[in-house]
Structure 1
C-alpha cells in the first residue's frame, strides 16, 4: 500500500453536519406541528398513538449506543467471535417484555415506571429505585458522550470542547422542544445511519482484502474463532454462558427502564407495543453482530501490523475510527458517514435519557411536592428539566475528562450494581404476592450493596488473564507503512491495573466473577433477602393483593383450570379493570367463561350470569 495522509474533508463535514441539521429539524418540526397540543401525554408519550415501527427502531438504538459502534468491534478484535453472542442475548428480553411487562404497563398506564413499586409496596421503594436509575442514567450519558468525543476528536479537526458543546446543545434542543415524537423519529433516522455506517466498514475491508473468505482465514490463523466457547468457568469475562446466561442487564433495560416503558405506552394498544418490541430486536441484534464482523475485519486488515503495538494508538477503542480514516481516505464522505453513525448512537442514548429522566424527576419528586401544578406548568417544568439535564450531562463529560478513572469507574460500578436489584424487586412485585414493603426495600438495598461490593473488589484486584486477550503482532509492519498518525492528547482510561501481589482469597473467587454475572447476582440476592425478610416480618396475604399489580407466571386460557389457579397463588382474578376482582374458583371460572361467550351486547351490559357465586374482595 502507498503512504497516505487521510483527512476529514469538506464532504465528510457536509455529511456529518447534515446529520446534525436533520435531527434538529425533526425536533423543530414536531415542536411546530404539536404547538397546540401542549400536554404531558403528548410530550412524554407521543399522545399514545405512535406507529410501532418507528417506536421499535427507537427502542433498538436506545439499547445501542456509540459504545456499540466503537467498543464492540474492539472487543471482537481482542477476544474473537464470542462477542457475537451479545446479539443473541439482547433479544431474550423481548420475549419477557412481550409476555409479562407490556400488558401490565398498558393496563396500569403509569407516568413513571417506578410508581408501580409505590402502589405495590411503599413510596420509599419507589424513590430508592428512581434515585438509583437517575444517577446511573446521568453518569452513563456523560460516559457515552465522553468516550464518543474522545475517540472521534482524533480523526476530525474538532476539539474536545467544541465536539461536546455542539452535540450536547443539539441533542438537548431537539429533545426538549420536540418531546417523545422528536426522540422516536430522530432515533429512527439514527438507526439507519448506524446500520449504513457499520455495514460500509465491513464491505470496504472485504473489498480491500479480496473477499470475505480472506477475513475468515485471518480469523482462523489468529485463533479468533471463539464463538463456540462453552467454558463454564464463571470468572472468565466472555464465554457463551457469561454473555447469554448473564443478560439480566438487558432484561432490566427492556422491562423496567423508564425510557422503554414510555415507548411501550406511546403505542396505542398492547399489540402495537409488542410489535415495537419485536421490531427492536432486529436492528439491535444486527448491529451487535455487524460490530463483531467489523472486529474480525479489523483484525484481518491489521494482521501482523497492529497499530497499538506500533505505538500509534493508546487504547484499543481508538482502532475503529483509525481504521475508518485509513480505508476511506480516497472515498469522500464515507468517513463522515461513520462519524455520523458513532455520533448517532451517542445522540440516541442521551436524548432518550434526558426525556425519561426528566419525566422521572417530575413524577417521582416534584409532582408530590407540588400537587396543584397545572398541566401547563408541568410541561414547562419538564422542558426546563430537559435543559438542566443536558447541562448536567455536559458538565459530567468535562469532569470525566479532568478526573479520568474516578468518574468512569463510578459509571461502570453503578451500571453493574443497579440492573440486578431493579429487575429483582420488579420480579418480587409482579410474581410474588406475599412479599411486603419491608422485604422489598431490604432486598433491593442488599442486592445493590452486595453487587457494588463485588464490582469495587473486582476493580481493586483485577486479573487480566480472565479477559483472555488474544495476541497481536507488529512483525509484518515492514510490508506496510503509513504516515497517518492518530493524534490523541487525552487517552482514555485503562481499567486494568497491575496485579497486586498481596491478593486476598476473594480476589480470585468472588471478585473475579465475570462482570456479566453481576445482574444475575443482584437479582438472586435481592429476591433471597426480600423473601427472607417478608417471611420474618409476616407475609402479605395473597388474597389481599390487588390483582391489577399481579402477573401469573402461567396464565394461558388453554391450560386446565387447576394449573392456572396454582400459578395465581391465591390472588383474586381481575375480571374487569374497572370492576372489583373476584376469588378465583373453578365454579367461577366455568360460569364466567360461559357468560363471556354470550353476545357483545350482553357482555357489555350490566347483566350478570345467574347464580354466579363470587366473593368481592
Structure 2
C-alpha cells in the first residue's frame, strides 16, 4: 500500500514490530500506570477532603487560597500538551533552531499579563474572565465571548486527546481507544470531583514528570552521541544552527521579528485572557501572588523551550551517528517486503500527476510503502514524475537521503484511507517520528520508555483537565447562574461537577469524530488559533479604550472572527490549489509554548521554487505567528470605528474599574475638547480607580460594591441597588 510523501531527508533506523513493542517492559507499564494512579489519587484526595463542605468558590477557584509555586507550575502545564512535547523537537529537526527565538517573546508575553490583565481581573474579584465583559459592556457581549471560548476549547480538547494517543498506538502498540478512554476517564473523574485545587496540584505533579521525561531523553541521547558539545557541532556542520534572520517581511514563516514580536500576541491570547489561565490567577491568595506566579512562568517556559530544542538537535545527531544499517534494510529473500493495493497505488500516481506543473511545490520525491501486516518506518525512493509508478526498488538501493520527515507509513496510509488531508497526515507523522526516536533511543533501559510515555500523558492530562475545569466554570458562571440566581451553594456545586463530567464525555466524542473525519483534525487545531486573537482584541478594546461601547464590541468581535476564518480557510484552500502546504494559524500550543499548530501541522517542503504570491494569495501566506496580532487589531479597529459612529459611551454606564488603571491618568492629559469628543470622561465622573476596592460576590454571579462604594451618591434605583458595582453615567457636558 503506498502514499506520496516528501523524502528529502534521512530517516531514522528502521526496526520491526517486535523490536518496537519489546521496548515496553513490565517496569515501563508500572511507571505509566503509576502516573495515572497518582493523578487520580490527588483528585480523589481533594474531593474527599472537601466533600460536603465544598462551595462553588472552593470548587472553581480553590477558595482563592493557592500559593505562587503551584499556580506557576499549573500555568506552565495548562498548554504544555503532548503535542507540544513532540512538536518542538520535530520543528527543530526539520527546520533548524530559528524557532528557538520564540523565547524572546516570553518576556513581554508574560510581563504584560502580570501588570495589565491581572490587576484588572483580580481587583474585580471575578470568577470567569467573561464577567468582565458584562461589567464593561453588557450581558450580550459577555455571552458572545463565552460562547466563542466554549467553541474554541471543545474542539481543541478532542485533538489534544486523540492525536497523541494515535501516535502512541503507532509506535508502541498501545491500543488506541484504550489510551483515549484511559486519558478521558481519569481526567474527567479527578477534575469533576476535586475541582480546581485538584487540577492545580495534579498539574504540579505532571509538570515534574514532563520535566523528568524530557531531561532523560537529552541525557541518554547526548551520552550516546558523545555529549552536548558534539551534538551542537553536528547540527552546526549540517546547517541546523540558525542565525538571527532579521527579514521584516511578515509573510516569512519564521524570522526574529515574527518570533519575538508576533509571538507576544500569541502569548497574550493564552496568558492574558484565556479563561484557563485567568482562573489560576484568580485562585491566588493575593494579587501579588498572582503576579509573582506569572513572573515564575518565564524561566520555566525558557527551560521547556530549551529542552524541546535540545531533543530535536539530539535526535538529528543520533541519526547522523547511527544511520540505517544493512541488516535493518534487508528483507528475507523468499518473502516480499512490501505489498501494494491497486486502488491506493493508482491514487498516488494520480497525485503525482496532478501536482506535476510549473507551480508544483509538494516535493514528492518518493513513496512510502507500508509493509503488511508489520509496522516499519522504511522509505523506498521513487522518482517524482507523472505517469504510472515504477515497481518498488529493492531496499539495498535506497538512496542516501539526508533528512527524512516520514517515519510511520502504516499510520499515514491508514489515515489517508480514512479521508485525512495531507496536512493532517503530516501532523500524525511528525508526532510519531519524535516518539519513534525516543523509543529507539531508550530501548533496553527498563523504566525509561515508560517514563517518557508518562511524560506525554502528563502533558495531555494537564491540558485536558484545565479545559474541563475552565469550561465548567464559564458554563456555570456565564450561562447558568445569571439566569438562575437563586441556586444554593450545594446545588451549584453539584451542577458544576455534572457539567465537568458532561464536557468529559463531549471530549471523548470529539476524539471519535477526529478519528472518523480526517479534515476535522486539521480544522480543530486551526480553529483554536483563529479564535484566540479576536478574544484578545475584545478584552483590549474594553480595557484600553473608554469610548468603546457594546455595539462596537460585538461588531468588532464578529469582524475579527470573520477575518480569522477567512485567512485561515483561505490559506488552506489556496495551498490545496497550488500544491503548497499551508501556514497554520496559531493555537495551543504550544509551547510551542501553547501553540499547537506552530510545528505539528507541518508542511511538505517544496522541491521546486514557487513564485512569490500576490494579492489575496499574499495575504493567505501571512506567518501564523502574526495571526493573533492581525485578528486582534481587526477587532480593535472595527470596534472603535463602530463605537465612535454610534456615539461612544455617551448616555451609557461605565464602571471605572474595568479600565486599565493607568489609562485614566493618560486620558486626563488630553485636551478637554478631545475628551468630550471621545465621550469617555466628564469633570464629575473621573475614571480614576484610586478608590477601587474589592467588590463582594453575589450568589447570582454579579458584583456588588463594598460599604465605601455604596456610601457614594447614587440614584435610589441605580445599579448599586441591582447588585452591580457602582457605575458612572458618562455625558457629553462641558468641563
TM over 0.5, shorter chain: yes
Please list the CA deviations of residues 406-450 of structure 1 after superposition, one character each: whole Å capped at 9, or x if unmatched: 212221332222111111111110111011111111111101101
Q: Give the SS at the match of 1:95.
A: helix
Map of 1:278-357 to 2, 5 A cutoff? 278-303=295-320, 305=323, 312-314=407-409, 315-357=429-471
Q: 1:419 to 1:308 in 2, by over 3 A?
A: farther
Structure 2 residue 212 is matched with structure 1 residue 196: yes
Q: Which residue of 2 aligns with 1:252?
A: 269
Please list the CA deviations of residues 508-550 of structure 1 after superposition, one character each: whole Å capped at 9, or x if unmatched: 3001111111101101111110111111111214996321111
Q: Which residue of 2 aligns with 1:153?
A: 169
Whole-angstrom CA distance in 2 between matches of 1:184 and 1:398: 28
Whole-angstrom CA distance in 2 between matches of 1:555 and 1:303: 60
- In the TM superposition, residue 403 of structure 1 has moved relative to its aligned partner by 0.6
Q: Which residue of 1 aligns with 2:369?
A: none
Whole-angstrom CA distance in 2 between matches of 1:301 and 1:411: 33
Work out which of the residue numbers 213, 217, 237 in structure 1 matches 2:253: 237
Q: Which residue of 1 aligns with 2:530?
A: 417
- Is the Cα contact below 8 Å between 1:417 and 1:449 reproduced in 2? no
Q: Which residue of 1 aligns with 2:281?
A: 264
Q: 1:464 to 1:336 in 2, by over 3 A?
A: farther
- Is the Cα contact below 8 Å between 1:46 and 1:266 reproduced in 2? yes
RMSD after superposition: 3.3
Q: 1:39 to 1:579 in 2, by over 3 A?
A: closer
Work out which of the residue numbers 54, 67, 87 in structure 2 matches 1:38: 54
Please list the CA deviations of residues 348-377 of structure 1 after superposition, one character each: whole Å capped at 9, or x if unmatched: 000000000011111111123322221111
Higher normalized helix content (fraction of residues): 1
- In the TM superposition, residue 232 of structure 1 has moved relative to its aligned partner by 2.0
TM-score of the superposed pair, with normalisation by structure 2:
0.71
Q: Which residue of 2 aligns with 1:399?
A: 513
Whole-angstrom CA distance in 1 between matches of 2:528 and 2:465: 18
Q: Which residue of 2 aligns with 1:430?
A: 543
Q: Which residue of 2 aligns with 1:276?
A: 293
Map of 1:475-554 to 2, 5 A cutoff? 505-506=614-615, 508-541=617-650, 545-553=654-662
* Deviates further, 256-265 or 409-418: 409-418
Work out which of the residue numbers 81, 84, 105 in structure 2 matches 1:89: 105
Q: Which residue of 1 aligns with 2:181?
A: 165
- Is the Cα contact below 8 Å between 2:661 and 2:688 reproduced in 1? no
- Is the Cα contact below 8 Å between 1:238 and 1:467 reproduced in 2? no
Please list the CA deviations of residues 272-325 of structure 1 after superposition, one character each: whole Å capped at 9, or x if unmatched: 111111122222221122101111111111238486756642422212111111
Q: 1:502 to 1:86 in 2, by over 3 A?
A: closer
Whole-angstrom CA distance in 2 between matches of 1:427 and 1:50: 27
Whole-angstrom CA distance in 2 between matches of 1:227 and 1:372: 61
Q: Give the SS at the match of 2:481.
A: helix
Whole-angstrom CA distance in 1 between matches of 2:538 and 2:689: 23
Gaps of 5+ in 2: 1-12, 325-376, 381-405, 410-428, 584-599, 696-707, 712-727, 730-735
* Deviates further, 504-513 or 515-524: 504-513
Q: Give the SS at the match of 2:196.
A: helix
* Deviates further, 36-45 or 276-285: 276-285
Map of 1:116-135 to 2, 5 A cutoff? 116-135=132-151
Q: Which residue of 2 aligns with 1:373?
A: 487
Gaps of 5+ in 1: 469-491, 581-602, 607-615
Count residues with an aligned counterpart.
561
Q: Which residue of 1 aligns with 2:7?
A: none
* Deviates further, 509-518 or 115-124: 115-124
